[in-house]
Amino acid sequence: MTAGPEPADSARKSGPVIASLIDKEIDNARANASSLQVRGLAVISSSGTLVTLLFGLSALSTKAQNFVLPDAVKLPLYLAAALLVLAAAAGIFTNAPRRSDAIALKNLTPLIAEDQYWNAPSSYAEREVAKTRLTVLQNSRAINISTARTLLVAIVLEIAGVACVTWAVTSLVSA
């Protein structure tokens, strides 16, 4: 059985397909960045709430007559407060603006000002745009990896803070 004539679609150039893939990957990278920022905000909220509860409990315990916080409880409470504050700070850092060197506007000026670029075949421009978009994608992924690592640190700090609260409560109950 012989293959018939190739469909008309095969006459298409591969450049636009590659450019479309790069665009989709940029969209995915932006969605990932947004997701990381939202999770960073969640760490900020939960850590802040837990620190507030710790301070509230401390205020209540100091008002109770004859209540003395056992020494075995102080260290884990101090550690919990410090770890939760650090977790919140790391969560804030996940939302910090980051510099992107994807497209320097000064590099676009010659493309408009000089006839050799302006009058070049569109395939040249498509390739240059795809190269630039690929640079944007590479920068976005690098930033996302850094943000994800910071988020992981924030989550680990928050877990450690909660563990210290558990340690403090266990020490208080068993005292």
Q: Is the pLDDT of residue 9 over 80?
A: no
Q: Any idea where the domains of the chain sit in the sequence?
A: 31-174
The confidence band for 6, taking pLDDT boundaries of 50, 70 and 90, is: low
Neighbour tally for 107: CB within 10 Å: 10
pLDDT digits (tens, 9 = 90+) for 146-172: 999 999 999 999 999 999 999 988 888
Q: How much is the pTM?
A: 0.77
Residue 3: both structure tokens together: 């293959």
Tell me the HSE value of 69 on the side-chain side, using a 13 A CA sphere. Answer: 15
Please report the pLDDT score of residue 97 as a whole number: 84
pLDDT digits (tens, 9 = 90+) for 12-48: 778 888 888 999 999 999 999 999 999 999 999 999 8
Q: CA distances (Å), 83 to each of 47, 55, 108, 155, in order?
A: 9, 14, 47, 10
Q: What angle do CA 172, 174, 175 make, to 5 degrees?
A: 65
